[in-house]
C-alpha cells in the first residue's frame, strides 16, 4: 500500500525497469514493461519484479546506522531519509522533476567516467571543471545517439545550466539502381519511435520532404533499424539535414543540475555535484565504521568476560549451582569477578560445550581478531585519507562489476571544429567605426611610435565616419556587446571577420541582430562565465548598475536586456568586476569620482541602476575605469593632450557625489574624451576622427597632479580631433619584433 496509490507507484517501478529510460535499471522486470515504441506495460497482475544487483548496492549497509530514519506516513514503520548510495545514482541515472518555481533535469552519465571523475576530485580537490570534462566528456544516454557541440556541455557543467543538441545515429546504405537508403539505428533519448515514424510519414505526405520513396521499421530483438529509401538522384546528406531540422531525430535537451543539498535546492556545477556525493559517502562510511566499532567492542567485552570465567570455571560453576535463581547468580558473579551486566548475562547464557579446551582456544583466537579489527576501525575514524581510499575502492568495485562502454558519441559541430581546432588562440585588435563597421586585425599590424609622432594610417572610412571603439582580445574569448540602448549581444572573437589594416571592415548588423538605430556602447571580454564576477554598467547621465556575470551567459540571437535606460540617456561603459573592486567615473568636464563597488548592490538585468555621480549642466560621463594597485589614471583631451595621475590622489567617496577635478578642460585642451587605468610597460592606442592611430608606451607620458592640463600626446591636423583611446595588450617585445619584421618585408 502507498498513500499515492498504485496509479503512481506502478509506473515508477516500470520506468526503473526500462533500459531505454534508465541508463542503469534498478528493477529487474519479468513480463511486458513497455517499449521504446511507446507501448504501455502490462497490468501489474501480469508482471513480476525484483531489485537488480546494482540497486542492492544502493541499500548496502542500510542496517548499520549509516543514514537517519524517520516515521513513515502513518507512523507504523520507519524509513530512511536517504539511501547509503554506494552507486552514484544522481549522475549515472540522472533525474527529472518539477516543483513550485523550480525544475531539475539531470542527464544520465557513464559509470566508468563518473567513477574516474570522483576519484580525480578526491586525489586533487583543486581540479577544475574543464579538467573534469576531459574525464566526463558529456552525458551518456541509454538510447545512445550523438551529441553535437561541445561548448554547451562545457557551459552546463560549469554553470549548472545548458542546452545540448542530441541526434539519432544514421547511416547510408546503397540500393540498386543508383539509389540510397538512410538507416536509423539509434534515436534521441525519450523520443517515441512510433511517433517519429508518423512524423516522417506526415512530412512526406505533405511534401515537406520530397526525396523519400519508402519508410519502414525493421527493428527486432537484435536492435533498432528504421529504413528510409530515397528516390533516384536524391542526396542522402540533404535528406538527413532535413530530418534533423524537421523531426525529433534532433532534439534539444535542457540541462538543469538542480539538486537537494541538505534539504535545500541548489543549482550546482559538475564539481559541486561530485563533491556532494563524496561528502555523503564519507558520512556513510564514518557512521558504518562507528557502528561496526561499537559491535566489535561489545563482542570483545563479552569475550573478556568469557576468558575470566574460563580461568575460574570451577568457582563460576560453584556460584551458579549455589544460587537459587538466575538473578542471584548474576549478582554474585558481578560482585565476585567485577563482571558487567552484559558479560554476566552472556556467561549465564553460555552452553556447556563452550567449556571445552577447543572452544577456549576459539574464544582466544576470536578475541585477538577482534582486537585487530577494533584497531583497524579506529584507524579509519582517525584518518580522512583512509575514508577517501575506501570511497575509491568502492568505485573501483562498481566499475568492475557494472561498468560498460559509452553509448552516446560526442562530436564537435562543424563550426566548433573549425574554430577550436584550426584557429590559434592569439591576441587580435578589434575596431568598430561610428557607422557600425567591425573588423579583426592582428595586433602586430600597428608598430610602436614615440610620443608626438604622426601615426600609422588606420582604416579607410567614409566621409563623416571614424573609428569609435578599439580593444584587444584573444580569438577564443567571448565578447559581450552592450548597446547604448541597454541590450547585450554575444560573439566569440573568431566570429568577427578578419580584415587588413586599411579595410573598413564589415557591417556589424551582419553579425549581430541589432536594429539600425542601435549603436554599440562598449564590449566586455569574457573567458568563462563565473558566478563570482559582475558586470558594472555606466550611462552618460551618471547612472551605474551592477549585475551578476551569470545573467549574461545565455543571450538570445536577438540579444537580451542588459539595463533599462532612461529616455535621453545611453550606456557608455561596461566593466567586468570581482565584487569588491573600486571604480572611477570621469566626465567630459574634467571631474571624477572614486567609489567602492560594494556600495552598489547587485540588480537584475532589467533594472535601471542607481546614481554614480552628480553632474553639472552640459556635463556627461565619458569613462568608467577600475582602480587597480600599481596603476595610474591616464586621461586625454580632444585636442591631443594627456597625462597620468596616481590613483591615491582620488579619495574614495560615497557614490552620487559631485567628485573632484581630474583635468583642466577647455581652452588648449578642449573636452576630456577618454581615460584608462595603466601601469608601467603598458602601451596606448589613440584614435582620431579621421582614422589616424598612434601607438605609444605610457612610460613616455608624465605622472602629474590631478588639477593640471597635461602634455601633448599626438600632433593633430587642424580639423582632426581625438575621439578615443585604448590600452594595447602587453605581449610585448615579441609583438614588436614581429611587427618590425613584417614592416621590413613590406
Per-residue pLDDT, averaged over 12-23, amounts to 94
Q: Which grid cell sits at 56?
A: 542492492
Quick one: pLDDT at residue 585?
A: 94
**What confidence score (pLDDT) does residue 64 get?**
94
What is the structure's pLDDT at 556? 74
Q: How confident is the model at residue 728 (pLDDT cuts 50, 70, 90)?
A: low
Average pLDDT over residues 110-118: 97
Per-residue pLDDT, 436: 72
Output the average pLDDT for the chain. Answer: 86
pLDDT over 70 (residue 742) = no
Question: Domain ranges in the chain?
Answer: 1-51, 60-161+271-422, 169-248, 423-745
Instruction: Count other C-beta atoms under 10 Å from residue 2's C-beta.
Output: 11
Query: Are 91 and 247 within 8 A, CB to CB?
Result: no
Which has the minimum average pLDDT: 463-472, 475-484, 511-520? 463-472
Q: List, as one string, the DSSP characters of 141-194.
A: -TT--EEE-SHHHHHHHHHSEEEEEEE-EEEEEEETTTEEEEEEEE--TT--HH
- Residue 687 has phi, psi (to 5 degrees) of -125, 135
The predicted model gives 428-434 an average pLDDT of 77
pLDDT beyond 70 at 460 = no
675 sits in which H/E element = strand 672-678
Cell of 710: 597635461
Handedness of CA 422, 424, 425, 428 (dihedral sign): negative
pLDDT at 495 over 80: no
Please give the Cα distance from 209 to 21 (Å, whole number).
Answer: 30
**Cα distance between residue 537 and residue 496, in whole Å:** 24
When pLDDT is cut at 50, 70 and 90, the band that residue 467 belongs to is low
Residue 381: exposed, middle, or buried by beta-carbon count in 10 A (0-12, 13-18, 19+)? middle
Mean pLDDT, rounded, for 205-224 = 91
**Quick one: pLDDT at residue 466?**
58
- pLDDT number for residue 515: 74
pLDDT at 452 over 70: no
pLDDT over 80 at 340, yes or no: yes
pLDDT, residue 616, reads 86
Residue-wise pLDDT for 157-181, tens only, equals 999 999 999 999 998 888 876 678 9
Q: How confident is the model at residue 52 (pLDDT cuts 50, 70, 90)?
A: very high
Dihedral sign from CA coordinates of 206, 209, 215, 219: negative
Report how far apart, in Å, the C-alpha atoms of 601 and of each of 534, 540, 547, 659 are: 11, 20, 8, 21
Give the range among 104-108, 132-136, 499-503 with minimum mean pLDDT: 499-503
Q: Confidence band (pLDDT; 50, 70, 90) for 474?
A: confident
CATH assignment of 169-248, given 3.30.470.20, 3.30.1360.40, 3.40.50.300, 2.60.120.260? 3.30.1360.40
H-type helices in 18-143, by residue range? 53-59, 89-93, 111-123, 129-133
Q: How far apart are CA 567 and CA 264, in angstroms?
A: 42
What whole-number percentage of the chain has pLDDT above 70?
89
pLDDT at 733: 40
**Confidence band for 439, pLDDT divided at 50, 70 and 90:** confident
Q: What pLDDT is stored for residue 434 in this prediction?
A: 63
432 has a pLDDT exceeding 80 = no
For the ranges 185-199, 214-228, 341-355, 364-378, the lowest mean pLDDT is seen at 341-355
At 233-282, the pLDDT tens digits run 677 777 888 899 899 999 999 999 999 988 899 999 999 999 999 999 99
C-alpha to C-alpha distance for 574 and 641, rounded to whole angstroms:
25
Q: How confident is the model at residue 358 (pLDDT cuts 50, 70, 90)?
A: low
Q: Please state, in angstroms and rounded to a whole number, the distance separating the CA atoms of residues 146 and 149.
A: 10
* Mean pLDDT, residues 325-339 taken together: 91
Examine the pLDDT at 4 and tell me if it is beyond 50.
Answer: yes
Residue 463 has pLDDT above 50, yes or no: no
Please give the share of the chain, as a percent, with pLDDT higher than 90. 55
- Tell me the pLDDT band of 465, cut-offs 50, 70 and 90: low
What is the model's pLDDT at position 1? 52
CB 495 within 8 A of CB 472: no
Give the mean pLDDT of 45-55. Answer: 95
Residue 86 pLDDT level (bands cut at 50, 70, 90):
very high
Question: Within 13 Å, how many C-alpha atoms sit on residue 257's CB side?
Answer: 24
Q: What are the distances in angstroms from CA 741 to CA 427, 449, 680, 745? A: 18, 15, 25, 6
Confidence of residue 186 (pLDDT cuts 50, 70, 90): very high
Q: Which of 335, 334, 355 lies closest to 343, judged by CA?
A: 334
Q: How far apart are CA 537 and CA 433, in angstroms?
A: 21
Residues 292-303 have a mean pLDDT of 94
Q: What is the mean pLDDT of residues 567-576?
A: 93
Which has more pLDDT, 425 or 24?
Answer: 24
pLDDT, position 269: 94
End-to-end CA distance of the chain: 86
Q: Is 46 tagged catalytic? A: yes
447 pLDDT more than 90:
no
Tell me 222's DSSP state.
Answer: T
Q: Which of 411, 430, 429, 431 shows the shortest CA–CA distance to 420?
A: 411
Q: How confident is the model at residue 736 (pLDDT cuts 50, 70, 90)?
A: very low
For domain 423-745, give the fold: Neuraminidase (2.120.10)
User: Is the pLDDT reported for residue 208 higher than 80?
Assistant: yes
The better pLDDT of the pair 512, 124 is held by 124
Mean pLDDT of the 343-367 span: 83
Which listed residue (1, 10, 46, 244) is catalytic? Answer: 46
CA 52 centroid distance within chain = 33
The CATH number corresponding to 60-161+271-422 among 3.40.50.620, 1.10.268.10, 3.40.630.190, 3.40.50.300 equals 1.10.268.10
Q: Say yes or no to pLDDT of 744 above 90.
A: no
Instruction: Say whether pLDDT at 506 is over 60.
Output: yes
Supply the pLDDT for residue 419.
38
Q: What is the pLDDT of residues 545-562, one digit of tens each?
A: 999 999 998 777 678 999
Amino acid at each position: 500500500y502507498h498513500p499515492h496509490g498504485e496509479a503512481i507507484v506502478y509506473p515508477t517501478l516500470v520506468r526503473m525497469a526500462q533500459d531505454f529510460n534508465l541508463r542503469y535499471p534498478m528493477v529487474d522486470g519479468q513480463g511486458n514493461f513497455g517499449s521504446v515504441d511507446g507501448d504501455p506495460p502490462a497490468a501489474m497482475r501480469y508482471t513480476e519484479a525484483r531489485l537488480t544487483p546494482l540497486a542492492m548496492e544502493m541499500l548496502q549497509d542500510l542496517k548499520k546506522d549509516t543514514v537517519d530514519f524517520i516515521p513513515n506516513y502513518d507512523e507504523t514503520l520507519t524509513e530512511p531519509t536517504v539511501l547509503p548510495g554506494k552507486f552514484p545514482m544522481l549522475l549515472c541515472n540522472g533525474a527529472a522533476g518539477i516543483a513550485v518555481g523550480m525544475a531539475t533535469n539531470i542527464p544520465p552519465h557513464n559509470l566508468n567516467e563518473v567513477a574516474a571523475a570522483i576519484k580525480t576530485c578526491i586525489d586533487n580537490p583543486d581540479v577544475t571543471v574543464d579538467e573534469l570534462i576531459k574525464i566526463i566528456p558529456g552525458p551518456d544516454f541509454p538510447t545512445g545517439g550523438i551529441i553535437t557541440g561541445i561548448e554547451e556541455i562545457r557551459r552546463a557543467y560549469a554553470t549548472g545550466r545548458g542546452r545540448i543538441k542530441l541526434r539519432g545515429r544514421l547511416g547510408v546504405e546503397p540500393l540498386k539502381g543508383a539509389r540510397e537508403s538512410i538507416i536509423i539505428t539509434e534515436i534521441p533519448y525519450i523520443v517515441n519511435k512510433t511517433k517519429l515514424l508518423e512524423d516522417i510519414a506526415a512530412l512526406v505526405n505533405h511534401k515537406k520532404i520530397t526525396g523519400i520513396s519508402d519508410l519502414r521499421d525493421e527493428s527486432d530483438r537484435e536492435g533498432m533499424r528504421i529504413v528510409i529509401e530515397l528516390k533516384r538522384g536524391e542526396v542522402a546528406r540533404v535528406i538527413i539535414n532535413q530530418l534533423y531540422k524537421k523531426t525529433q531525430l534532433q532534439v534539444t535537451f535542457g540541462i538543469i543540475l538542480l539538486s537537494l543539498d541538505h534539504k535545500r535546492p541548489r543549482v550546482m556545477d559538475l564539481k559541486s555535484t561530485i563533491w556532494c556525493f563524496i561528502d555523503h559517502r564519507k558520512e556513510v562510511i564514518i557512521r558504518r565504521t562507528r557502528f561496526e566499532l561499537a559491535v566489535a567492542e561489545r563482542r570483545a567485552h563479552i569475550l573478556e568476560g568469557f576468558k575470566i570465567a574460563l580461568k575460574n570455571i570451577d568457582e563460576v560453576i560453584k556460584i551458579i549451582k549455589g544460587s537459587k535463581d538466575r538473578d542471584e547468580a548474576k549478582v554474585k558473579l558481578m560482585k565476585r569477578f567485577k563482571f558487567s551486566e552484559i558479560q554476566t548475562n552472556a556467561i549465564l547464557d553460555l552452553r556447556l560445550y563452550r567449556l571445552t579446551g577447543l572452544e577456549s582456544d576459539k574464544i582466544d583466537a576470536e578475541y585477538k581478531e577482534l582486537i585487530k579489527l577494533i584497531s583497524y576501525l579506529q584507524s579509519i575514524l582517525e584518518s580522512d585519507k583512509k575514508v577517501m581510499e575506501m570511497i575509491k575502492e568502492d568505485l573501483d568495485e562498481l566499475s568492475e562489476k557494472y561498468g560498460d562502454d559509452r553509448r552516446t558519441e560526442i562530436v564537435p559541430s562543424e563550426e566548433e571544429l573549425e574554430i577550436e581546432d584550426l584557429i590559434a588562440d592569439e591576441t587580435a585588435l578589434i575596431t568598430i567605426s561610428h557607422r557600425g563597421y567591425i573588423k579583426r586585425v592582428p595586433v602586430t599590424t600597428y608598430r610602436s611610435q614615440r610620443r608626438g609622432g604622426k601615426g600609422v594610417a588606420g582604416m579607410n572610412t567614409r566621409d563623416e565616419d571614424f573609428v569609435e571603439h578599439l580593444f584587444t582580445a584573444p580569438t577564443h574569448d567571448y565578447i559581450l556587446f552592450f548597446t547604448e540602448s541597454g541590450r547585450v549581444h554575444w560573439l566569440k572573437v573568431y566570429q568577427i571577420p578578419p580584415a587588413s589594416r586599411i579595410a573598413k571592415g564589415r557591417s556589424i548588423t551582419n553579425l549581430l541582430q541589432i536594429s539600425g538605430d542601435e549603436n554599440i556602447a562598449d564590449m566586455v571580454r569574457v573567458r568563462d562565465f563565473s558566478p563570482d564576477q559582475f558586470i558594472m554598467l555606466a550611462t552618460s547621465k551618471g547612472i551605474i548598475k551592477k549585475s551578476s556575470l551569470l545573467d549574461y551567459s545565455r543571450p538570445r540571437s536577438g540579444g537580451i536586456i542588459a539595463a533599462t535606460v532612461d529616455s535621453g540617456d545611453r550606456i557608455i561603459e561596461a566593466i567586468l568586476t570581482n565584487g569588491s573592486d573600486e571604480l572611477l567615473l570621469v566626465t567630459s568636464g574634467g571631474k571624477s569620482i572614486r567609489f567602492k563597488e560594494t556600495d552598489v548592490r547587485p540588480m537584475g538585468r532589467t533594472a535601471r541602476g542607481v546614481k554614480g555621480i552628480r553632474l553639472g549642466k552640459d556635463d556627461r560621463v565619458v569613462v568608467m575605469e577600475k582602480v587597480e594597485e600599481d596603476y595610474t589614471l591616464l586621461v586625454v583631451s580632444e585636442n591631443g593632450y594627456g597625462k597620468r595621475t596616481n590613483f591615491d590622489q582620488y579619495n574614495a567617496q560615497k557614490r552620487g557625489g559631485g567628485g573632484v577635478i581630474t583635468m583642466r578642460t577647455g581652452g588648449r585642451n578642449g573636452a576630456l574624451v577618454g581615460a584608462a587605468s595603466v601601469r608601467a610597460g603598458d602601451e596606448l592606442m589613440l584614435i582620431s576622427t579621421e582614422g589616424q592611430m598612434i601607438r605609444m608606451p605610457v612610460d613616455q607620458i608624465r605622472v602629474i597632479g590631478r588639477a593640471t592640463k597635461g602634455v601633448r600626446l599626438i600632433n593633430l591636423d587642424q580639423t582632426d580631433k581625438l575621439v578615443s583611446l585604448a590600452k594595447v595588450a602587453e605581449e610585448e617585445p615579441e609583438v614588436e619584433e614581429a611587427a618590425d619584421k613584417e614592416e621590413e618585408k613590406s
